[in-house]
Structure 1
Amino acid sequence: MRTLTLQRLLGSACAAAVAALPMAALAVETQIERATVSLPAPTQSFDPTTTVSATDRAIFGLTNGTLMQQTTSGEIVPGLAEAIDYSEDFTSATVRMRPDLTFSDGSALTAEDVAATFERHMAAGGGSLGAFVSRLSAIEVVDDLTVRFDFTGPFPSFGDFSSAGSYGIYPSDMVASEGFFGDPVTAGAYVISEGWSGNTIELVANGNYWGGTPAIGTITFTIIDDANSAVSQLQTGQIDYAGDLPPNFVTPLSGLPDVRVESVPTYGFYDIRLWNRDGPFADPDMRKAVSLAIDRAAIVRAIWGEANEPLAGFWPPVMAGYDADAAVGADLEAARALLAETDCADGCEVRMMYSDQDFPFASQLALIVQNQLAQVGIDVRLERLETAILVERLFAGDYDMVPGAMAAAANVPDHLLGNALLGTGFLKAEFSGYASEEMDAAIAQVNATSGEERLAALAEVERLFAEDQPYLTYAPWVRMAASRLPEDALSLVGTQMVVGLVDE
């Protein structure tokens, strides 16, 4: 058996268990009584299989207890599990739980709860957790503190996956009951004190949390989709942390006293999704032409200035497989040559829907894309929508173009691939409807290998992405925030939010 508690997939497996570590670096000497945090994305659900909201993911990271977990620095450390023992071929894993764990209601947390949680998600088809759940084949409770997972193939990144808040553990006798996710019993650092009332929700420190005292006693989340309002309320002290701010709003804040600006790279990218299955972008030449007509460098300069960089390939710069040579400028001549062989040879119209609630710079991006594509005869009709309507149309494939973003919860390529390129994945390859047997085979090779073999598979994914161009990336996903809280008290980490601990 191979014991892994901290995994780095491109290297070989570590043979020795690592001692259990606390949730985060010790952050504050005494607990901060309360803090108010703003995010722009509206909530969708506390059921992790049914939501893609950034706000919901932030709450999961604070309320859910996970087998492994991330610190405020992004390091993956043991959580509810003391260690994970893998078979030699990584097709199974035995999870050894900490003793004496409890849920927020004081009831015992055992291996039975771990098994029941994932079995529930498997029965639900995985939903938005499909990239993880689809790789589980069977779960067996060995004893009160031990559960065995069998996989559909080698799954060396199982532990890293399980550090995301969306994979929290719930009570076995409740998780499958109707209405449970309206007010879920959880095992993380916080519990929901007051559910969503208007645009706010209150979390309080979980007195039964195993990991210590969270740095903040009470956290109130508030949805502020207008960046001007978020910045104004931060300046006046009405809120303490403004997350996911537009880049152009962050720079002026950097000079204010007692305000700290954060720029957090994620393991993902911003993209413009193209619906592949019918309509104008069913033709791969149309997709490639749009990619060639887009000037990514100009987009990044307009939105981020010097705070980000353009991206044209699939892998972001912080992940293995990144192609630093992919062209990020526009090639209008090549774009027109491709369009000449399509139904858009004499010009055409496409629809681009967007929501400023999803991305605070969405309106700016939409106008830039509209102007750039007009240069090659593509008329972009813009549709500004409420997020709920946009998401409904997104899942239905009722669109031509739409701004998007995709990131893995940790630095593991499997997660990004399962959601963003796998043809059989729940999210339809970043909602594009793209399906390629050749790409699926390359993904399977990534999932089953490590070292040089995995690097070669990552390069093949990059090649196929450029060849098929199912959608286009234009920048690495960077989350911008401003805070009045002490450093490490609360931080964005990848796709979730993490709170530090009181030094006791």
Structure 2
Amino acid sequence: MLAEPAKVTTFDPILAYQSTDLRAIDLIGGRLFSYDKDGTVGPGLAQSGTAAPDQLSWTFPLRPDLKFSDGSALTATDVVASLERVRTDPTNVYSALTSAWKLVSAVDPQTVRIDLNVPSPKLESVLSYPVTTIVPAAHAADPKFYNAPVSAGMFTLASWGGGAEAKFVRNENYWGAKPIVKNITMTGVTDNSTRISQVRSGQVNFAADISPSLIDQVTAPAKLVTAQLRGFYSLVPNNTVAPFNDFGVRKAISLAVDRDQINKIAWHGKSQPLAGFWPPNVDGYDKNVPTGRDLDGAKAALRGTPCEQGCTSDLYFTSGYPGEPEMATVIKQNLADIGITLNLQNLDPTTLYSRLADGKVPMTILLVWDYVNQPSGLLNYALQQGGSQANFSFYNSPEMNQLIDQANQQSGDQLKETLAKIDALFVKDVPYANLTPYPSFSAANLPEQGLVTESDSATYVFKLQ
């Protein structure tokens, strides 16, 4: 039994952006490539990937005799239908990830080809993301199919129906080594203290995403599980809504926020301040970006803005995710020092993300992460236009978009230089204020050692047979 901060809301890979949904899809989803808990990418349904000499196409031979969890054959036709939906469906929240794709086609029943508009050296990494989950071609375009989907991951969905619990059973047709555990239930428990008490009592075996302020409550027989994920928490204003469409207001907010205080209070000192775009465990991180609070600079930035004489806004967050209530309290105090009054609005994760997608939130605290150490993911979710609208900031900079396009095509020293330019432009434009990297805390109480060894933002790691 796995206790999540929210219930599963969708099994559609192109619509899923909550942590709970991504973890659920990862349980059932087969993809051409896969990543481990360290972010290393390796073969999945594909045996390998080979780029053409001009780097404008890749071919992927599939493993022999692949099957979906229902026992039906999985062929290149299914891969093409699944990935073409990812490439072309306008509702895909990860559409920027596939902007380089020109066409996905089948060379033969066992071989897939992806033609590109521009080189994409990290294509294998992109093909490991949950959004690229492979489903049967006959159902790929049917939205109703994703209420009870079939794929080719370690588990298959046994029951859900949109309720608080989703039940899974081991996929006996899985191509690789199978997990020890045969049955899993994911249940949504929004209250942090309740998740911890349930794992201590043995009512659940794993409680994901617990608040660091409650770590001391994780006592025997429960054990604390920690991970440093490739992401960050941010204070995100909607750049299209007054007063946050004013650069000076956004700059003042970033300068007024006390990141050291946030780390101390929200994370009990277990994270660190972050003001640049790249987190410390991702290429591009610059330790020299100033993170200290600058009240004088913040007040100067407000001169001539709609907030020069003070202003008021709602700040949305969710107590379903760790640290956010504590961050909200600190931020409210910080911004009061420059005359910005915040009304705190605590919503459940499902409601919050629904409002974000509709553009109805003026400012919010958000978490964003990537699965592997490569730039495309974070750039897609957090800076580029698409389904996630640049981390729901609705920031849209032609200069930034050009840099992102370059980064997606580069490697080596060229990529390093472009990542530095992206970081510098992020600091200059201040579309939002990064606060801290993302440390993850969970609690485990396992009936058998090693059933679940770790959980990060999109993966449960199981001991295999």
Question: Same fold judged by TM-score > 0.5?
Answer: yes
CA distance in 1, matches of 2:248, 2:187: 44
Which string of whole-angstrom CA distances, capped at 9 and with x for unpartnered residues, describes residues 317-336 of structure 1?
00111111222221101000
Equivalent residues in 2 for 1:47-62 (5 A)?
47-62=12-27
More displaced stretch, 162-171 vs 222-231: 162-171
Which string of whole-angstrom CA distances, capped at 9 and with x for unpartnered residues, describes residues 103-156 of structure 1?
011111011110010112233126122132333110120011101001221111
1:403 is the counterpart of 2:365: yes
RMSD: 1.6
Displacement of 1:356 in angstroms is: 1.6
Supply the AA of the counterpart residue of 1:374.
A
Supply the AA of the counterpart residue of 2:29.
N
Identity %: 34
The structure-2 alpha-carbon separation of the partners of 1:50 and 1:197, relative to structure 1 and needing over 3 Å to count, comes to closer
Number of the residue aligned with 1:176: 141
SS in 1 for 2:48: strand
1:468 is the counterpart of 2:429: yes
SS in 1 for 2:96: helix
Q: Is the 8 A contact 1:267 1:494 kept in 2?
A: no
Which string of whole-angstrom CA distances, capped at 9 and with x for unpartnered residues, describes residues 262-302 of structure 1?
22122211111111013111011110100000000100100
CA distance in 1, matches of 2:349, 2:114: 37
Number of the residue aligned with 2:81: 116
SS in 2 for 1:219: strand
Which string of whole-angstrom CA distances, capped at 9 and with x for unpartnered residues, describes residues 402-422 of structure 1?
010111121111111012111
Equivalent residues in 2 for 1:254-333 (5 A)?
256-333=219-296
Number of the residue aligned with 2:461: 498
The structure-2 alpha-carbon separation of the partners of 1:91 and 1:500, relative to structure 1 and needing over 3 Å to count, comes to farther
Displacement of 1:64 in angstroms is: 0.5
Equivalent residues in 2 for 1:92-103 (5 A)?
92-103=57-68
CA distance in 2, matches of 1:283, 1:273: 14
Which string of whole-angstrom CA distances, capped at 9 and with x for unpartnered residues, describes residues 234-268 of structure 1?
11111111111111222442xx3443322212221
Q: Is the 8 A contact 2:148 2:157 kept in 1?
A: yes
* Matching residue within 373, 378, 385 for 2:335: 373
* Number of residues of Structure 1 aligned to a counterpart in Structure 2: 463
CA distance in 2, matches of 1:386, 1:167: 27
Number of the residue aligned with 1:334: 297
Displacement of 1:497 in angstroms is: 2.6
Q: Is the 8 A contact 2:94 2:388 kept in 1?
A: no
Normalised by the length of structure 2, the TM-score is: 0.96
Supply the AA of the counterpart residue of 1:436.
S
Q: Is the 8 A contact 1:44 1:56 kept in 2?
A: yes
* Matching residue within 446, 453, 461 for 2:414: 453
SS in 1 for 2:366: strand
Q: Which runs of 5+ in 1 are unaligned?
A: 1-35
CA distance in 2, matches of 1:501, 1:72: 14
Equivalent residues in 2 for 1:44-193 (5 A)?
44-125=9-90, 127-193=92-158
* Matching residue within 172, 180, 183 for 1:207: 172
Number of the residue aligned with 1:228: 193
Which string of whole-angstrom CA distances, capped at 9 and with x for unpartnered residues, describes residues 357-411 of structure 1?
2x24322221111111001111112222233332232122222210101111211
SS in 1 for 2:39: coil
Supply the AA of the counterpart residue of 1:447.
N
Displacement of 1:84 in angstroms is: 0.3
Supply the AA of the counterpart residue of 2:345.
E
The structure-2 alpha-carbon separation of the partners of 1:167 and 1:500, relative to structure 1 and needing over 3 Å to count, comes to farther
Supply the AA of the counterpart residue of 1:473.
N
Q: Which runs of 5+ in 2 are unaligned?
A: none
SS in 2 for 1:45: coil
Supply the AA of the counterpart residue of 1:270.
Y
Q: Is the 8 A contact 1:225 1:360 kept in 2?
A: no
The structure-2 alpha-carbon separation of the partners of 1:439 and 1:178, relative to structure 1 and needing over 3 Å to count, comes to closer
Supply the AA of the counterpart residue of 1:259.
A
More displaced stretch, 50-59 vs 196-205: 196-205
Which string of whole-angstrom CA distances, capped at 9 and with x for unpartnered residues, describes residues 213-248 of structure 1?
212111111111111111111111111111111112
Q: Is the 8 A contact 1:62 1:499 kept in 2?
A: no
SS in 2 for 1:174: coil
SS in 2 for 1:477: strand
1:489 is the counterpart of 2:458: no
Q: Is the 8 A contact 1:410 1:494 kept in 2?
A: no
